[in-house]
Homo-oligomer: A and B are copies of this chain.
Amino acid sequence: MVTAGNSHPAAQEPTGASPRIVVVGAGFGGLAAVQALAGLPVEVTVIDRHNYHLFQPLLYQVATAALSPADIAWPIRHILRRQKNTSVLLDAVTAIDRQAATVMTEGGRSIPWDYLVIATGAHHSYFGRDDWEKNAPGIKTIADATSLRQKILLAFERAEGESREDERASLLTFVIVGGGQTGVEMAGAIAELARHSIAEDFRVIAPGSARIILVEAGPRILPSLEEKLSANAHATLQKMGIEIMTSSRVEDVDADGVIVNGQRIAAKSVVWAAGAKASPAGAWLAAPVDRTGRIIVDRNLNIAGDARVFVIGDTAAFTPEGAEKPLPGVAAVAKQMGIFTAKRIRALVEQRQPPENFRYKDVGTVAAIGRNNAIVVLPGLKVTGFIGWLLWSVSHIFFLIGLRNRASVMLNWAWNYVTWQRGARLITSEDPNKKDQ
């Protein structure tokens, strides 16, 4: 089975004529592509820097102590264990040689491919102010979410032990930058945590009095929805005691707070939900990228002039014909791109006519706005309020992978709903007294 050298054994086996397909990234797009290649007489290698596929839409619930990481993540290997044409490699890509058709990894491997699928996602973007990241972390990975959970829970702990009034107020002020879906969901979840889950647990502070401020640069929150739904969400958040600042730009972030519209807001906890920047795949492939680093792909999701290389999901800038802007970086787009890519590769391998021209079929948008309230926009249906929230809950449980995760999330939500409590309130750092910096 195993050859000499430090390469990945599975990828190096002599294979006769089997085409080799390398998929980089096992998020929604990459995983959909791999699963749609099942049964094909090819050798698929999936490379991911994590050993798990992550259900990112619920990451904010890990950050606010409602769910455990294991509820929304699943070992990639385990998902693909029965797909015998596929091996999984825990490693990170560092470079791609298109001439030699190989991928180079941090682990020192060099993996050859006949078809390459790039599905490496996006990170936060600080619009050139990467120094803000330290004080205004985002939520893209499990590590992000658990360290944010720790930061939020520690803020209340420190406030309880703090005797200076202004310091205490600053510890009890939470600023969320970005009024898109993640920002809105985080603001709602922090409000529920402070006003309900931990309201009784302290002796000196009243966690319910925490200030939660949502800052949005544009004129309204949830700008991807129509105006009426934005206004509905705005009113709901205000009723939950969240201060909303629209048309407001964050001009600076430091350890003690933010400057918004020239005014300083003292806040020890700042959460970044404002911008995304694609992975560095554009540089690996020397391909043209847009302003946010996404690789500009053609009608078939290939990089220009190279039908062997596909780019999908948040890493791709694909503008449908007649549309003004590229498709958004959401799970449904990534999944459909993954499936289209697999169909094309399957046809090419089987020497049939491949499908042409990727078309996104809109499956709608959902956003939770606190307890009992969500906005659901499906083709031909708009629901808000409690019914929206039920639809939101059911759809999220449905899309989770695996019976255990579904049951565990259901259990946690049911318990949370009845008791207002959050089960994962753990500060797991070994240094509770380490100061913020």
Among residues 196 to 218 in chain A, which have CB atoms less than 8 Å away from a CB atom of chain B?
198, 200-204
With A165-B2, A423-B70, A426-B69 known as contacts, the answer to whether A91 contacts B408 (CB < 8 A) is no
Does A432 contact B90, Cβ atoms closer than 8 Å? yes
Which B residues lie within 8 Å of A153 (CB)? 51
**Contact status A412-B408, CB under 8 Å:** yes
Residues of B within 8 A of A73 (CB): 426
Interface magnitude class on chain A: 35 or more
Write the chain B residue with the least CB distance to A427: B51
A89 on the interface (CB 8 Å rule)?
A: yes
Interface SS of chain A: loop
In A92-124, which residues have CB < 8 Å from any B CB? Answer: 92, 105-107, 109
Residues of A within 8 A of B (CB): 1-10, 49-52, 68-71, 73, 75, 77-78, 81-82, 87, 89-92, 105-107, 109, 141-143, 146, 153-154, 157, 160-161, 163, 165, 198, 200-204, 403-405, 407-408, 411-412, 415, 419, 421, 423-430, 432-433
Known: A68-B70, A415-B403. Is A432-B10 also a contact (CB below 8 A)? no
Minimum CB–CB distance from A65 to chain B (whole Å) comes to 8
Find out whether the CB atom of A407 lies under 8 angstroms from the CB atom of B411.
Answer: yes
Residue pairs across A and B with Cβ atoms less than 8 A apart, 10 shown, are A1-B204, A2-B163, A68-B68, A68-B70, A70-B424, A92-B432, A404-B411, A404-B421, A407-B411, A408-B412
Closest Cβ–Cβ distance, residue A68 to chain B (whole Å):
4
CA–CA, A425 and B73, complex, Å: 9
**Residue from B82, B146, B198 within 8 A of A428 (CB atoms):** B146
The answer on a CB contact under 8 Å between B433 and A92 is yes
